[in-house]
Amino acid sequence: MALQSVIDDLAKRPGTGEVIPVIDPATEEQITEFRDAGPEAVDEAVARAKAAYQSGVWTDIPARQRAKVLWKLGDLIDEHAKEFAELESLDAGMPPAQAEMIVSTCAEFFRYYAGWCTKINGNSYQVQMEGGVNSTHANFHAYTHKEPYGVVGLIYPWNGPLFNACAKVAPALAASCSSVVKPAEETPLSAVLLEKLIAQAGVPDGVTNFVIGYGATAGAAITAHPDVEKVAFTGSTEVGKQIMRNSADNLKKVTLELGGKSPVLIYDDADLDMAIMMASMGIFVHSGQGCVCGSRVFVQRSVYERVVAGIAMIGDNLVLGGPKDEGAMISPLVSQKQLDRVMGYIDQGRKDGVEIVSGGYRLDRKGYFIKPTVVTGVDPATSRLYREEIFGPVVTILPFDDDDEAVAMANDTSYGLAATAWTTNLARAHNLGKRLQAGMVGLNCQLTFDHNVPFGGYKQSGLGKEFGYEGIDAYLKTKSIWAAL
Ligand code: NAD
């Protein structure tokens, strides 16, 4: 499917709400526009999903048949990898190589979860009780049975649109749920192609339904809908809390993958060149618009100056640009709103008296580009720039003297998504693995992920896990069945 036909299809989608423009963040030019699907479209999509679920058209087919459809979908995504990468580049401003790398991991979600389709099992228990109702001694065979939630709502953000879609659609399909899927209004293009491939792979009509619109309209309608049994959400902590509140009426189950303010600890015994490179890429890649980006770096005092200078130098030398700019390594921010938000934090930092070691300004060109920014001299107790998630290319660096101080500073946050420690002291590394309060800890590695390894945050960074077995279990409920023997 050519790029232009995806763009045209988006513009033709029916909708009842406001017209939403789709902007190329690297040029600020409008790509197309579409109508907000609105709450009516959500009602229709939920009704379709419910009918499909109740008909058994997906739930009742043999698990190995479902697995084949998921596998085929993975292959179709691979076949269309070039178009997906172009769409992600256009929509989110990603350099082509980065978009291709991310798209290459997307098909794998379907192959990985295809494997789980035939392995959804419960446990069995042999129970003996004294003083049963009809006898003094009773035996039971009890077992757990896993059942899909039914209709689920899947809501995801703009920072990695296809990746976020696949991370939810694949386990929901494998668990044989029906779903209503809402991409971010800023980056809807890849969803249009994915929707087509889902049908082409053989997923029956009504099982996976995309609605494209604003969070406050389409998103809120999904979370409030009485026929939606569960919502899986990736996005900001603030909206995550709204979703929990909105889901309370019918006690929807929720899985939340939220924001972060992830710490990176660099010790003087670390491979410093590697640590400096990875700490730099760990915040500047995709202009810091990654939930696991390491936005707070703590450095042992003896190597503090060297690490600050190293990260600033790398930031200064990274080439910013859009998909059409030769040699571009770092994408723009997604929107004017996001650019204003990030510049707001930098300006506030200046007023608070922080030191901007490098960057700190918008590029003098079209597109939402902010130079990678290194900040020192923050007051950890009061600085908003230090304490709040910025979701931009801004890193604060502070020195520490010993393990206890480093751990205390790292954990002094309401977030708990990811943490990293760079040290060649093996015992210290593993101790930090336990002491750092985050759902994912990297020891001498950063930005690592695999479909098989659970992903998700502690504290206000989330609820529940994606990926791995936990990822499919999040779409299943557990029933206990008792049989008297
Ligand atoms: P956001 O919370 O504003 O929006 C995310 C999605 O929720 C969008 O589709 C949006 O339309 C929808 N939404 C907004 N308001 C809603 C409402 N009231 N009801 C239902 N849906 C609503 O987040 P964003 O700005 O698009 O994305 C950036 C945030 O996402 C950052 O905080 C980042 O850390 C987080 N994120 C987390 C992970 C993770 O796995 N933990 C991954 C990527 C991004």
- pLDDT tens digits for range 36-80: 998 999 999 999 999 999 999 999 999 999 999 999 999 999 999
What's the pTM value of the predicted model, to 2 decimals?
0.97
Q: What superfamily does domain 263-443 belong to in CATH?
A: Aldehyde Dehydrogenase; Chain A, domain 2 (3.40.309.10)
Residues within 6 Å of ligand 1 by CB: 155-159, 182, 184-185, 214-216, 219-220, 223, 234-236, 239, 242-243, 257-260, 291, 389, 391, 417, 457, 462
Distance 484 CA to ligand 1 centre (A): 48
Catalytically annotated residues: 257
DSSP of 99-135, one letter per residue? HHHHHHHHHHHHHHHHHHGGG----EEEEEEES-SSS
Pairing assessment for the beta strands 418-422 and 124-130 based on DSSP bridges = unpaired
Q: Check residue 275 and give its pLDDT.
A: 98
Q: How far is CA 454 from CA 167, 257, 325, 374, 440, in A?
A: 12, 12, 36, 31, 9
CATH number at 3-258+461-484: 3.40.605.10
Name the residue with tokens 């229709």: 44
Decide if pLDDT at 298 tops 90: yes
Average pLDDT, the chain: 96
**pLDDT tier at 268, thresholds 50, 70, 90:** very high
Q: Which of 27, 22, 321, 334 is nearest to 191 (CA)?
A: 22
Whether the CB-CB separation of 94 and 331 falls below 8 Å is answered with yes
Name the residue with tokens 């109702």: 133
Decide if pLDDT at 310 tops 70: yes
Q: How far is CA 415 from CA 131, 344, 379, 457, in A?
A: 49, 21, 18, 8
Decide if pLDDT at 137 tops 70: no
- Please report the atom of ligand 1 found closest to the CA of residue 213: 11
**pLDDT tier at 123, thresholds 50, 70, 90:** very high
Pairing assessment for the beta strands 373-376 and 178-182 based on DSSP bridges = unpaired
**pLDDT tier at 289, thresholds 50, 70, 90:** very high
CA distance 424 to 417: 23
Q: Where are the domains of the chain?
A: 3-258+461-484, 263-443
- Given ligand 1 and candidates 244, 291, 465, 470, which is best to mutate, with the most ligand atoms within 8 Å of its CB? 291
Structure tokens at 324: 């059409």
Q: Check residue 450 and give its pLDDT.
A: 97
- Given ligand 1 and candidates 239, 249, 292, 413, which is best to mutate, with the most ligand atoms within 8 Å of its CB? 239
What contacts 61, CB < 8 A, 6 or more positions away? none
Q: Closest residue (by CA) to atom 13 of ligand 1? A: 215
